[in-house]
Amino acid sequence: MAENGIGWAALGSLAGNGPAARGPAPGTLRRILRYAHPYRGGLLALCLLVLAGSAAIVATPLLLQAIVEVGIARRDTDTVVLLAGLAAAVAVGEGLLSYAQRMVSARIGESIIYDLRTELVRHIQRMSLTFFTQVHTGALVSRLNTDVIGAQRALTSTLAGLLANVVAVVSVVATMFVVSWPVAVIAVLLLPAFFLIGRVAARGLRSVARAQMGVNADLAATAVERFSAAGAMLVMLYGRDDDEAGAFARHAGRARDLGIVSVRRGQLLMVTLTGAAAIATAAVYGVGGALVAGGAMQLGALIALVALIGRLYGPVAGLVNVHVDVMNAMVSFERVFAVLDLKPPVLDSGRRGPIEPAVPPRVSFDQVSFAYPTTDQLTAAGLDEVRLPGRRGGTGVLHGVSFELRPGTVTALVGPSGAGKTTIGHLLARLYDPDSGAVRINDVDLREYRLGAVREAVGVVSQETFLFHDTIRANLHYARPDAAEADLERALEAAQLLEFVRGLPLGLDTVVGDRGQRLSGGERQRLALARLFLKSPAIVVLDEATAHLDGVSERLVQEALREILRGRTALVMAHRLSTIRSADAIVVLADGLIVEEGGHEALLARQGLYASLYLSPGG
C-alpha cells in the first residue's frame, strides 16, 4: 500500500461501475456461493494472505519508532542497523505476501470466469433460433465478458479488498491508540468528513461511469456491424461513407467528452482526498509536535504516528463506497443469472438413438400446430433492455399439418412466402418442438430421441449459407472433424466443386472470408452441400438451396443434389417450382395448412394453388 494511502485503486472503488439502486434478488447470494464452493480452499488461503499483509502494515511504523527511541536516542548503532534490517525484511515480506495474494486471487478469479463463461455458452447454445433473433448479439457478448468479469470480482477483488481495508483500518487505529490516544482521537474524528467527501464526489463519478459504458457499448456495436463484410458493402453501395464516419465521430466525441469529465472529476476527488489527508497529517504533526515539545511524547512516537496516518486513509477511501462495489458485483451476477434462468424451449430428455443412416427413415408430421414464442417467453428480468423492438411471436404458423416423407424419396414442399415451409424444416431438425401434434422418425416422436441423435440424422442447407471465416478444410471438417483428405475430396467432387478447389493456390487451405464472402454465391452453396455430403445424414432438408443462383450455378448445384440425395429421405423447399418437377411427392402449403398433395402433373391438372404458382412468372 502506498505511503500516502490514496491511489487510483481507491478512486476506482469510489467510482464503481454503476450503482445498484436496489438490493440483490432473493437467493442470489446462495447461487454465488455455489460458484465459490469448489474454490473454498483457495479463498481461505486468500483471506489468510490478506490478513497477514494487512496486519503487517503497522509493523514498519513501530519499527521506525523503535529505531528512534531505542537506537538513535541511545546512540546504539547496532540496534539501529538491526531494526533497519528488520524494517527492510518486513517490506520484502509485504511484497511477497502481495505477490502470493495476487497469484491466488488470479487463479481463483480466472477459474470462476471459466466456469461462468462455459456454463453461459452451453446454455445459450440450447436456446431456440427465435431467441437469437430477439436478443442483441452484443448484449450476449457483454454477458460473457463484462458481466462475467464483474461477477468474478465479487469473489476475489471485492472480497479481498473489503477484508484488507477493514483489517488495515482496525489495525492502524488500534496501534495509534496504543502509541498516543490523543492523536488517535483526532484522526478518528476526521474520518466522518473523509467519508462525506468521498460519497459526494463518488455520486458524480458513478453517473459518468455509467454514461461511458453506454457510449463505449454503442461504439463497439456500431463497429461490429459496419466492419462486417456485409455491413461494409452496404455502406459502400449506398455511398454512406461520410455519413457513417460522421455518426461514428459523434459517438467518439461523446466518449471523448465523458472521458475528460471523468478525469476532471477524478482529479478533483483526488485533490480533495489528498488535501483531507494532508490536513489530517498536519493535525497529527501539530498535536504530536506539541506533545513532543512538552515532553509528553517521544519523537519516535510522532514518527510512527505520521507513518500510521499515511496508511489509514487509503483503506478508508476503499471503504467509503464498499457497498457500491458489492452491489455492482451482485448486479453482474444477476445479469449472468438472467440468461441462465431462461428455459430452453427444446429439452434434451429423450433416450432413443442413434438413427441408423444406412436405412432411409420414414418421416411423418401428425396434426402439427406451431406458433413462434413471444418476446416475453424468450426474455427475463435483466434482459429486457437488450431485446430488439418490434419482434414479437405468438401468432400461429402451422395448423394441424399432417403429411409423410416416404423412405428414400424426395418430397417437395411448396407454397407462397410465409406459408410455413421453413418452419416445417426447423421442426424436422428439432430446432423447435410443436405446440401440439408430433413429428416422427420411423414412427417415434422426435422428443423420444436424444437431441444429438436427431441433429446427427438431419442435415439442412438453406439459401442463407453460413461459412466460418476459416479455411475450406476447416469448414468441411465442421461436419466431420475426423474426415480424411480423401473424404474431403469425395465430398467436394459430389458437390461439383473439386476442380475449383484444386485450382486455388492454397487449395483446401484457402480462407473463405467472413461468411464466405471471398466465394461466389454458387461456390458457397456447393461448399455447403459438400459439408452436408460429408456429414452423410439420413434425412436431408433443402430450404431454397438454389434460390438467387444464376443458371450455371443452379445447374451445378442441381447436379450435386442428385448425388447427395441418392438413398436419402429428403424434404425440399423451393420458390422456383421448375426445380422440383421430378420430386416423388409434392405438398402444397398455404397459411399454415396443407391445401394440396400429389405429383407434378396431377397437381397441374387440378388447376389449384400449385398450378397458379407454377404458371406465375418465376414459377
Per-residue pLDDT tens over the stretch 531-587: 988 888 889 998 877 665 666 767 777 777 777 788 889 999 877 776 687 889 999
Query: Angle, to 10 degrees, between the axis of helix 313-320 and the axis of helix 191-227?
Result: 60
H or E, element range at 367: strand 363-371
Q: What is the DSSP letter of 386?
A: G
**Per-residue pLDDT at 79 exceeds 70:** yes
The contacts of residue 512 (CB under 8 Å, 6+ apart) are: 467, 468, 469, 470, 471, 472, 475, 518, 519, 524, 527
The contacts of residue 590 (CB under 8 Å, 6+ apart) are: 415, 416, 419, 609
Strand partners, 412: 572, 586
Per-residue pLDDT tens over the stretch 110-168: 888 888 888 888 888 888 777 777 776 666 777 777 778 777 776 677 777 788 888 88
φ/ψ of residue 234, rounded to 5: -60, -45
Q: ∠ CA(465), CA(467), CA(346), 5° rounding?
A: 70
Burial 57-81 (b: 16+ CB within 10 A, else e): bbbbbbbbbbbbbbbbeeeeeeebe
Q: What is the DSSP letter of 37?
A: G
Q: ∠ CA(248), CA(254), CA(260), 5° rounding?
A: 135
> Exposed/middle/buried for 189, CB within 10 Å: 0-12, 13-18, 19+?
exposed
Q: ∠ CA(594), CA(441), CA(541), 5° rounding?
A: 65
Torsion of CA 552, 518, 222, 136, to 10 degrees: 60
Answer yes or no: are the C-beta atoms of 135 and 386 closer than 8 Å: yes
- Measured between alpha carbons, how far is 432 from 129 in angstroms, rounded to an integer? 8
> Exposed/middle/buried for 616, CB within 10 Å: 0-12, 13-18, 19+?
exposed
- Measured between alpha carbons, how far is 360 from 458 in angstroms, rounded to an integer? 11
**Per-residue pLDDT at 291 exceeds 50:** yes
Among 201-205, 316-320, 499-503, the range scoring the smallest mean pLDDT is: 201-205
- 375 versus 43: the higher-pLDDT residue is 43
**Per-residue pLDDT at 389 exceeds 50:** no
Give the rounded percent of residues in the chain with a pLDDT score beyond 90: 17
Among 5-9, 310-314, 421-425, the range scoring the smallest mean pLDDT is: 5-9
**Per-residue pLDDT at 37 exceeds 90:** no
Query: What domains can be seen in the chain, in order of their start residue?
Result: 8-340 (1.20.1560.10), 363-377+393-615 (3.40.50.300)
3-state secondary structure of 585: strand
Listed in sequence order, the DSSP H helices in 519-607 are 521-535, 551-565, 600-606
**Per-residue pLDDT at 525 exceeds 70:** yes
**Per-residue pLDDT at 55 exceeds 90:** no
- DSSP one-letter string for 421-464: HHHHHHHHTTSS--SEEEEEETTEEGGGB-HHHHHHHEEEEESS
Length of the chain, in residues: 619
Read off the pTM.
0.70
- Measured between alpha carbons, how far is 312 from 165 in angstroms, rounded to an integer? 9
Q: Of 66, 37, 152, nearest to 106 (Cα)?
A: 152
> Exposed/middle/buried for 248, CB within 10 Å: 0-12, 13-18, 19+?
middle
3-state secondary structure of 352: strand
Answer yes or no: are the C-beta atoms of 158 and 326 closer than 8 Å: yes
Q: Of 331, 334, 318, nearest to 157 (Cα)?
A: 318
